[in-house]
Every structure is written in structure tokens, then in C-alpha cells.
Amino acid sequence: MALTKLQRRTRIKKRIRKIVDGTAAKPRMSVFRSNKEISVQLIDDIAGVMLAAASSQGLKDAKGTKIEVAQAVGKAVAEKAVKAGIETVAFDRNGYLYHGRVKSLAEGAREAGLKF
């Protein structure tokens, strides 16, 4: 029996989360992508706290295509992370393919100074 898109993504997500883990020094950068919006969180899995976050809903000045907005979200979260003293992160694509908006968000974060 074929898997649905959600079942497939959940299976991939579990496989990724076995490997990727966040600490206070190197938090996990978790991406969530919906049809309209994109958001990202920096998470310390050991303490169970979110250290920084950014979303396309919070960026009112970001205009353009969804890919351009995703890049702006990546830059925004990187700026918040640098202010919080975070330089390196573990990238968690959350079961999505590293392509399109997810790739654009990652490149935006790298441009703004995050290392992963």
C-alpha cells in the first residue's frame, strides 16, 4: 500500500530526528512549511526550550515570491540567533526536501551569519 504525503514526511522526519539533536551551544533549527507560510525555530532539546523563532507571518515588510520571503525569514532568524550568541546550528528540514523554500531559508540564514 502506498504512503500518503503526510505518512511519508513523518517517516523521513523520524529518521532525521534520530540523528539531529539540539543543545544550548548548538540548537536544532527546525523548519515548518505550510502552503502559504514558512516558519523556523531554534530549539534546545535537552532543556526543552525554544531559543529563537521567525515566521513569514511576523515579517510584514517581506514581499515577493514565497522563495524570497523564505530567504527573508532565514535572515531574520539568523539575526536573532546572533544576538542571542548562537553561531552554529543543526539544520532540521523536518521531512521536507532540501529544495525550493527550505533551501532558500537555509541560504538566507547562512548569508546572515549562521553556520551549519
Which ranges of the chain have pLDDT less than 70? none
CB of 104 within 8 A of CB of 71? yes
Amino acid identity of residue 37, one-letter, is E
> What pLDDT score does 101 carry?
97
Instruction: Specify the pLDDT at position 61.
Output: 83
Confidence at residue 78, expressed as pLDDT on a 0 to 100 scale? 97
Predicted confidence at residue 6, as pLDDT, reads: 94
- Give the residue from 95, 72, 115, 105 showing the smallest Cα distance to 4: 95
Distance CA 112, CA 116 (A): 12
CB 29 within 8 A of CB 89: yes
DSSP 75-88: HHHHHHHHHTT--B
Q: What is the pLDDT of residues 52-84, one digit of tens each?
A: 999 999 998 888 999 999 999 999 999 999 999
Overall pTM surpassing 0.85 (yes/no): yes
Pairwise CA distance, residues 100 & 3, whole Å: 23
